[in-house]
Amino acid sequence: MTTTGPIFHLDAAAIRERTSCKYQQYDADVLPLWVAEMDCALAPPIAERLAEAVRLGDTGYPMLDRQLPDALAGYAADRWSWQIDPARVRPVPDVGVGVTELLRNNLEPGDRVVVSSPVYPPFYIWTAKMRGELIDVPLLRGEEEWTLDLDGLRAAFADGAAAYLLCNPANPVGRGWRAAELSALAELAAEYGVLVVADEIHAPLALEGAQFVPFLTVSDTAREVGVSVLAASKGWNLAGLKCAQIVAGSQTAQARMRRIHEYTFESVGHFGMLATIVAWSAGREWRDQAVRELSANRELLSQLVAEHLPAARYLPPEATYLGWLDLTAYGWGDTPSRRILKEARVAVNPGPSFGATGRGCTRINFACSPQVLTEAMERIGALAAAG
């Protein structure tokens, strides 16, 4: 398959024909740069496979055979040097279901679950679902990169934590964790008996100059203490099709996965499985072009921030298509997204939803055309210039 033309070319009018929440949540004059969907058409091999399924009326229950585990294992070996045993892969409807079910079936109500803010808002929801006590050990922001607070994690683990929710790559800050950091985390988890559940949904979206490191590849210890949950949904824009995978790297981890009721695995979407198999097995060229364009948009966003929001604190992400902007200097309150929506007519995510460390910040989705991204930042810049 040869990808022709830019992937991120849809203008603001064209994307309004879509009916998913990203495009229908706000009025037509609002530029939607919030929820993690991409402004792109489906990869041609995926579109062709789904069209064929519709032609055949192939809309029944999914077949839980080896096709999906084998496709993931092939992609992981080729792109991440990750040797996955297909027998240790199970499908789930989405990453959220996988994480929630791992927590619910391996922890007790009241157990402590550690996160590192700013972090994906559903981490708080998933912990509440299993009636866990959430402990926040915030990330450390340096001059050039974000890091895990390993000393803080040691203290939290020693104080009786049962699980740690790892976001790898990190959402919203876009950090791609290094093997040494992940290995140190695994050793801490093993020392204190902590389960590490790694949300690796953005794994396919390491941008140019970075490499995704799966948690389960860094050491035997990581494979004992950790379980990975990942999907093709972000890398190929398939969130609505409902298919993710849980991966266990050891017998210990596989036993944790087996505590989940079989019905959860059977609830995966049939179209989601079909699309995901194609993404892992035949979607690499499309993904490579998407990453090239997203990397260019990352550089564009850096230029636009410097030009229109010079007082903002911003570290360009190594992965994902999400930018994390600290707008505290502009005095727009704890939730600057409200003023940006009301006055600039740009929808971005509220920083406080990512944890207390998100006050004064906002997340912006740059998986759009350069023209839409430029207009959005010009609008926000005009708001800043107005004082």
Task: For 55-88, write each residue's pLDDT tens digit.
Answer: 999 999 999 999 999 999 999 999 999 999 999 9
Q: Are strands 195-199 and 161-167 parallel, antiparallel or unpaired?
A: parallel
**pLDDT tier at 4, thresholds 50, 70, 90:** low
Q: What are the pLDDT digits (tens) for 116-146? A: 999 999 999 999 999 999 999 999 999 999 9
**pLDDT exceeds 70 at position 1:** no
Q: Are strands 244-248 and 226-230 parallel, antiparallel or unpaired?
A: antiparallel
Whole-model pTM over 0.95: yes
**pLDDT exceeds 60 at position 3:** no
Q: Are strands 112-115 and 161-167 parallel, antiparallel or unpaired?
A: parallel
pLDDT at position 11, please?
Answer: 80
Average pLDDT in the chain: 96
Q: What are the pLDDT digits (tens) for 29-56? A: 999 999 999 999 999 999 999 999 999 9
User: Going along 16-160, which residue ranges are E strands?
Assistant: 31-32, 89-92, 112-115, 133-136, 140-141, 146-147
Max intra-chain CA distance, the chain = 60
Q: What are the pLDDT digits (tens) for 304-352? A: 999 999 999 999 999 999 999 999 999 999 999 999 999 999 999 999 9
CA 96 centroid distance within chain: 11
Residues in contact with 367: Cβ distance below 8 Å, sequence separation at least 6, in sequence order:
8, 36, 37, 38, 39, 40, 294, 297, 321
Q: Are strands 140-141 and 146-147 parallel, antiparallel or unpaired?
A: antiparallel
User: Residue 102 is encoded by which pair of tokens?
Assistant: 């791992």
**pLDDT exceeds 90 at position 303:** yes
